[in-house]
Amino acid sequence: MSEKKRGFLGRLFGGKDDQPDIRQETATSQGEPDELADVASEPEVETPAVPEPVAEPDDTTFEDTETVVHPVADMSPVPDVLVAGEGPDLALAPVFQDPVPAQVSTDTAAEPKRSWFQKLKQGLSRSSSALTDGISSIFTKRKLDATMLEELEDILIQADLGVDTAMAITERLSEGRYDKEIEPEEVRAILSEEVEKVLEPVARPLDLNRGKSPHVVLMVGVNGTGKTTTIGKLSQKLASEGKTVMLAAGDTFRAAAVEQLKIWGQRTGAEVVAGDTGADAAGLAFDAMKAAKEKGVDVLLIDTAGRLQNKTELMDELEKVIRVIKKLDPDAPHDVILTLDATTGQNALNQVEIFGKVAGVTGLVMTKLDGTARGGILVAIAAKNQLPVHFIGVGEGVEDLEPFSAKDFASAIAGLA
Ligand SMILES: Nc1nc2c(ncn2[C@@H]2O[C@H](COP(=O)(O)OP(=O)(O)OP(=O)(O)O)[C@@H](O)[C@H]2O)c(=O)[nH]1
**Which residues surround ligand 1 with Cβ inside 6 Å?**
221, 223-229, 251, 254, 257, 260, 305-306, 339, 367-368, 370-371, 393-396, 400
Interface confidence (ipTM) of the complex: 0.97
pLDDT of residue 21: 33
CA of 221 to the centre of ligand 1 (A): 11
305 is in an annotated binding site: yes
Is residue 214 reached through a cis peptide bond, with omega within 30 degrees of 0 on the bond before it?
yes
CATH of 72-103+202-413, picked from 3.40.50.80, 1.10.10.10, 3.30.365.10, 3.40.50.300, is: 3.40.50.300
pLDDT of residue 315: 79
Pocket perturbation via mutation, ligand 1, pick of 396, 400, 402 by most ligand atoms within 8 A of CB:
396
pLDDT of residue 19: 37
d(CA 221, CA 288): 20
Q: Give the neighbor-by-neighbor strand order of the sheet with 299-302.
A: 91-93, 271-274, 245-248, 299-302, 215-220, 335-341, 363-367, 389-393, 401-403
Q: Where are the domains of the chain?
A: 72-103+202-413
d(CA 355, CA 358): 5
Burial 5-22 (b: 16+ CB within 10 A, else e): bbbbbeebeeeebeeeee
3-state SS assignment for residue 402: strand
306 is in an annotated binding site: yes
Can you list the residues of the chain whose pLDDT is less than 50? Answer: 1-3, 12, 14-109, 309-310
d(CA 16, CA 330): 51
Pocket perturbation via mutation, ligand 1, pick of 108, 125, 310, 367 by most ligand atoms within 8 A of CB:
367
Alpha helices (runs of H) in 241-310, residue ranges in sequence order = 255-268, 281-295
> To which H or E segment does residue 278 belong?
none
278 is in an annotated binding site: no
134 is in an annotated binding site: no
- Specify the ligand 1 atom closest to the Cα of 253: 23
Residue whose Cα lies nearest atom 10 of ligand 1: it is 226
Residue whose Cα lies nearest atom 26 of ligand 1: it is 226
Residue whose Cα lies nearest atom 14 of ligand 1: it is 226
d(CA 327, CA 312): 23
d(CA 404, CA 198): 13
3-state SS assignment for residue 148: helix
CA of 395 to the centre of ligand 1 (A): 9
DSSP state of 376: T
DSSP state of 74: G
69 is in an annotated binding site: no
3-state SS assignment for residue 34: coil
